Structure 1
Amino acid sequence: MDEVRAGVLRGEREVVVSGMAVLSAFGDGVGPVLDAALEGRPGFAPVSRFRVAGGRAGHAAAHPGAPVLADELDRMIGQACDQAGLTRLQRAGCPLHLAVHGDPALPRVPERDRQAHGADAFAGAVARRGGLSGAARAYTSACVASSTAVADAAAAIARGRADRIVVAAGYLVDADQFAVFDAGRALARDGRVRPFSAGRSGLLLGDAVVAVVVESAAAARGRRAAPLARLAGWGRAGDAHHVCRPRPDGAGLARAVTDALHRARLRPGQIGYVNAHGSGSPAGDAAESAALHSVLGDDAATVPVSSTKSVHGQALEAGALLELVVTMAALRAGRLPVNAGYLGEDPDCRLGLILDRPARTASAYGISLTTAFGGANTALLVGTP
């Protein structure tokens, strides 16, 4: 079976990322959010976008002002396509994979109009405004939405079903989701996210609108575009352990990582950085640590690990794509982000955490991990071009 799978993989096309654009709490561009991650400088501040009086928590990593999701998606898609050097004709042939919670207008429109505001309709409208093809697909699977969209795009391109796909994702901190997480006692009351740390108390939400151009290496070479990174491997697995609690041994996430390594034909010891899901929840971080020990073995204590959510927060459907972009940018810079907010060791989370200052690296490979309610797990393995 392994020989058959390896043969299939050898016949697949190489997949690269040729354009990317980001809006985050730190402003426009990959540079500002990468700098914050390298410095371990959190973007959390008291929420001013809506009223939070009477709640347990009151902080988020929000972009100043009142950005509009549709407008920012349009801008990020345009910027990513521009960086990739796509012509109007080339854009017109690009499908769109869009990860969103849904049309922000949906909860407040009359029932008779709701079909026109569904996630698929919203994705189609975004694609049309961006000059992309009519083949738009919406992903609404919570925190793994955008990583699943990337994996689907990469698989389609690797197998020759598409030359390039634009993957975009957006979440802007809103009153409804904030209230849900706050009522569920999931938000950190001290205004900080402390992944893998003793004394961690939960997550905080953050803004992210992100777009990337994923394409075959041959297609990029055909128009002399310089790839920003390679999508070397991807893996997905579900464990269905509980509707919201992770499986304690992290078996599902470990399978996703193992599949990504297999697809990339790499050994665990070749991974030079792990951008962990690291939400800051007590149970989630411990389960992720168990998964990493299962896959990495003795190397789990030394492979550099951090969660950039400690800086930019949990961006729900857009979070995985933001973290993938930060991972790719960090590898290109040769410096790895700090695991901010750390207070001290948790014996259930003994990892090679990057603390105090960014780590230098010459490694070609990093992996970005994501988990979601219901036991969904994804791993995206990237390499320098």
Structure 2
Amino acid sequence: MAERALVRITGMHAVSALGRGADALLAGVLTGAPAFTPVRRFDTTGRRVTVAATLPETGTLAEELTDAIDRVGRAAGLAPADRAAAALFLATHGGPPTLPVPVDVAEPTTPALAGHLAARCGLGGPTRVYTTACVSASTAVADAAALIRRGDLERVVVAAGYLVEPDQYALFDAGRALAADAAVRPFSAGRKGLLLGDGVVAVVLESGGAAARRGVAPLATVAGWGRAGDAYHACQPDPGGNGLARAVEAALVRAGVSPAAVGHVNANATGTPYSDASEAAALRRVFGDRAGRLPVSATKSVHGHALEASGLLELVVTVLALGHGTLPPTAGWLAADPDCPLDVVRDAPRPAATTHALTLNAAFGGANTALLVSAP
């Protein structure tokens, strides 16, 4: 593939309960120590579950997004002219922004927030907003990569944010989706559900040609992406994992990479009974018998589920693991589940040299995404 058609990642920044910055995220996931603590940000009296993975001190979501976008621009070495030509794709929960908006905006909305963030951070390209639940950020990355590869855009800042707040917390708790034992146990017997976590993330994607002209060394390449729907149930995933399998297959085909070349999977792995079994079935469908020997990490067990920001947070984790040749462990393991016959990395980080890794995400309604990242 011509250099100009390659989609490079040239900057990353992340905020989570593990700390601020990509280095803090990597160090935290490699410890395998869950970041879940009692929620102090709002009152959880009367809730079944009272823990989440939250950073003790944060600004508003809009303030944190502004800071993340500014920092990732600096991390990527973007000059003012580079920023002025960059688009902003924003993944976050719908609702009014918490930044002031111009007086001619009658009803403040999330699109207004995207425009405000772009203006504050000097991004002059088009803006897009993604509010498609837990595949919001991964869908934004897939769209950005497609437009860059096609030549429609040269550079996109993808940003995503979720800070644990009372409304979504109450919905997940009332729906009994949160783990009553205060631990996320992906692919393990005895898993009880998910736990929420903070995530504010930004990455810079640009064409290989643009990165080369700036003389910047890419961190990784977004080699392939795929999306597919289950059309099975409003909440439950397809037990056979067909939609997620199609998304993975599409990502591999788009990258021109065979399943045998993939050396790591950072799984969606929410720790819920049905979702984890469905994901394991999807991996078996794509990788066959090798699925039981393919190293799988599930980092939501450490940093929590950041909802709309999950796809971007886990993309950063995957790129960091690929670059450092170390696969993060999965917390919460109790015992093997026959419905999830996978090689789950647990107990300690695992050294591994691989060129290609997958990061997977899924959402209510049967939406599935797969991103294939490759060493630069």
Contact 2:97-2:112 within 8 A present in 1 as well: no
Distance 2:112 2:248 in 1: 33
Distance 1:359 1:45 in 2: 26
Match of 1:98 in 2: 90
Compute the displacement of 1:103 (Å): 3.9
Give the letter aligned to residue 237 of structure 1: A
Distance 1:237 1:319 in 2: 18
Call closer, same or farther: CA 1:12–1:262 in 2, change over 3 Å. farther
Call closer, same or farther: CA 1:364–1:115 in 2, change over 3 Å. farther
Distance 1:130 1:237 in 2: 33
Match of 2:149 in 1: 158
Structure 2 residue runs without a partner (length 5+): 99-103
Of the three residues 125, 129, 133, the one matched with 1:142 is 133
- After the TM superposition, list the runs of 4 or more consecutive aligned residues in structure 1 that deviate by more than 3 angstroms: 9-12, 103-106
Compute the displacement of 1:134 (Å): 5.1
Give the percent of matched residue pairs that are identical in Structure 1 and Structure 2.
55
**SS, match of residue 370 in structure 2:** strand
Match of 1:347 in 2: 338
Deviation string, structure 1 residues 266-316 (Cα, Å, up to 9, x no partner)? 111111100000000000000000000000001100010011100000000
Distance 2:105 2:272 in 1: 35
Instruction: Give TM-score, length-normalised by structure 1.
Output: 0.94
1:263 paired to 2:254: yes
Of the three residues 285, 307, 325, the one matched with 2:316 is 325
**SS, match of residue 117 in structure 1:** coil
1:23 paired to 2:15: yes
Deviation string, structure 1 residues 20-55 (Cα, Å, up to 9, x no partner)? 101111111111121121121111001000000111
Of the three residues 235, 238, 245, the one matched with 2:229 is 238
Distance 2:355 2:106 in 1: 45
Compute the displacement of 1:66 (Å): 4.0
Distance 2:358 2:79 in 1: 31
Structure 1 residue runs without a partner (length 5+): 1-8, 107-112
Compute the displacement of 1:161 (Å): 0.4
1:48 paired to 2:29: no
Contact 1:44-1:60 within 8 A present in 2 as well: yes
Contact 2:12-2:72 within 8 A present in 1 as well: yes
Compute the displacement of 1:10 (Å): 7.7
Match of 2:101 in 1: none
Contact 1:12-1:159 within 8 A present in 2 as well: no
Distance 2:336 2:30 in 1: 21
Contact 1:49-1:66 within 8 A present in 2 as well: no
Give the letter aligned to residue 125 of structure 1: H
Deviation string, structure 1 residues 234-268 (Cα, Å, up to 9, x no partner)? 00001121111101000000000000000111111
